[in-house]
């Protein structure tokens, strides 16, 4: 894996992980958007990626990994603009890329497809929540979000920084893994060779700058409009959800299936939020046609 940086007009630098640095010239490009918390340092299944013959790239959203932070919130449209700028940089003229997003990253993939359809080939959305008002999922976390609604962005960001910094202070060892996987529901993919080690590397990168990435990211998709209409996504979308995902189950996929013009839902039995690992081969098959 190698990392390069893309300069943005506001002076920020976006870190981009080249997860297949030996991909041949002209290989189909797949852009993978990570969960929250997360970073671009995660390939769900390197063997499947190699077999698909793609160039897999994954940006760090602001404040995660090696991407510069922002002072306010990382809204979905801001993250999508960064991802589109990466594609503008790497795609040949008139080219398109496959867009994949796991959990929070699925919104970014869909926002790119809606706002920059000329860049989007096919899209894969894996375990991505619907809006909470459509399919409730915030749980106890919702009380804090409700208290921040309507407050000035700097105040909201400061409150989120404090809350997530305190959370990380008390999160030791492999506790961060519980944000992306369930020890029981995801026991099989977690036991696969290299999966836990790759997740640890992704999460270590996610908190490299402390809580900056997580606070800005979560605030951006809970306190601000997402900035795109699902009806504007004209690409073919594959929706993947784990039947045993207690946080973001198949009801979320069914909601996306109703509002996206061209979507197909697959529910994987006996797996939770870490379905991105056993589902990755099918994701790549969909994205590459």
Helix-strand-coil percent breakdown of the chain, rounded to 5? Answer: 45, 15, 40
Nearest to 277 by CA among 204, 182, 206, 205: 182
In a 10 Å sphere around its CB, with 0-12 CB exposed, 13-18 middle and 19+ buried, how is residue 9 labelled? exposed
What average pLDDT score do residues 234-242 get? 98
Measuring CA to CA, which residue among 248, 252, 247, 242 is closest to residue 272?
242
Identify the CA nearest to 51 among candidates 286, 230, 285, 289.
285
| 199 and 180 Cβ atoms separated by less than 8 Å | yes
The whole-angstrom separation of Cα 36 and Cα 288 is: 26
**Integer CA distances (angstroms), 68 to 60, 168, 228, in order:** 9, 20, 24
Name the band, by pLDDT with cuts 50, 70 and 90, for residue 189.
very high
Could you tell me the two tokens for 155? 């105040």
What local confidence, expressed as pLDDT, does residue 173 receive? 77
Domain residue spans in the chain? 2-288
Query: Predicted confidence band at 78 (pLDDT cuts at 50, 70, 90)?
Result: very high
Full 3-state SS string of 21-51: CCCCCCCCEEEEECCCCCCCCCCCCHHHHHH
pTM: 0.97
**209-229, pLDDT tens digit by residue?**
999 999 999 999 999 999 999
Least confident of 8-22, 77-91, 162-176, 251-265: 162-176
Question: What is the pLDDT at residue 172?
Answer: 75
Mean per-residue pLDDT over the chain, rounded: 96
CB neighbours of 124 closer than 8 A, spacing ≥ 6? 98, 99, 100, 101, 109, 237, 238, 240, 283, 286, 287
What φ, ψ does residue 97 adopt, rounded to 5°? -130, 155
- 153 class by beta-carbon count within 10 Å (0-12 exposed, 13-18 middle, 19+ buried): middle
Residue 26 has pLDDT above 80, yes or no: yes
- Nearest Cα residue to 270 out of 179, 185, 184, 178: 185
* Banded model confidence at residue 89, pLDDT cuts 50, 70, 90: very high
Q: Mean pLDDT over residues 144-151, rounded?
A: 93
Q: What is the pLDDT of residue 245?
A: 98
User: 191 phi and psi, to 5 degrees?
Assistant: -85, -10
pLDDT digits (tens, 9 = 90+) for 92-143: 999 999 999 999 999 999 999 999 999 999 999 999 999 999 999 998 889 9
Mean pLDDT along residues 67-94:
97
Percentage above 90 pLDDT, the chain: 95
Q: Indicate the helix (H) or strand (E) that contains 263.
A: strand 263-268
Task: Report residue 22's pLDDT band, with 50, 70 and 90 as the boundaries.
Answer: very high
Of 2, 118, 129, which Cα lies nearest the Cα of 76? 129
Task: Report the side by side order of strands in the sheet with 263-268.
Answer: 2-7, 13-18, 55-59, 29-33, 97-102, 120-126, 237-242, 263-268
- Count Cβ atoms within 10 A of the Cβ of residue 199 and give its class: 0-12 exposed, 13-18 middle, 19 or more buried: buried
Q: Domain 2-288 is of which CATH architecture?
A: 3-Layer(aba) Sandwich (3.40)
140 vs 240: which has the higher pLDDT: 240
């Amino acid at each position: 894996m190698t990392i390069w940086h893309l300069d943005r007009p506001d002076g920020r630098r976006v870190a981009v992980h080249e997860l297949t640095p030996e991909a041949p010239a002209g290989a189909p490009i797949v852009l993978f958007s990570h969960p929250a918390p997360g970073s671009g340092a995660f390939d769900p299944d390197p063997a499947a990626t190699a077999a698909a013959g793609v160039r897999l790239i994954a940006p760090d959203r602001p404040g995660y990994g090696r991407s510069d932070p922002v002072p306010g919130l990382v809204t979905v449209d801001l993250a999508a603009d960064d991802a589109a700028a990466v594609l503008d940089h790497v795609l040949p003229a008139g080219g398109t890329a496959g867009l994949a997003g796991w959990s929070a990253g699925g919104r970014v993939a869909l926002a790119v497809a809606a706002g920059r359809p000329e860049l989007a080939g096919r899209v894969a959305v894996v375990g991505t929540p619907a809006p909470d008002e459509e399919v409730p999922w915030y749980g106890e976390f919702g009380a804090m979000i409700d208290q921040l609604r309507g407050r000035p962005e700097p105040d909201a960001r400061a409150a989120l920084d404090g809350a997530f910094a305190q959370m990380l202070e008390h999160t030791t060892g492999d506790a961060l893994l519980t944000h992306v996987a369930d020890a029981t529901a995801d026991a099989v993919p977690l036991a696969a060779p290299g999966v836990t080690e790759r997740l640890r590397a992704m999460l270590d990168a996610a908190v490299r700058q402390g809580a900056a990435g997580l606070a800005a990211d979560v605030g951006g998709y809970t306190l601000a409009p997402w900035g795109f209409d699902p009806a504007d996504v004209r690409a073919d979308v594959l929706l993947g959800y784990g039947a045993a995902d207690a946080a973001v189950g198949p009801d979320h996929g069914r909601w996306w299936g109703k509002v996206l013009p061209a979507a197909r839902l697959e529910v994987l039995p006996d797996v939770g939020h870490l379905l991105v690992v056993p589902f990755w081969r099918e994701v790549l098959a969909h994205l590459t046609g």
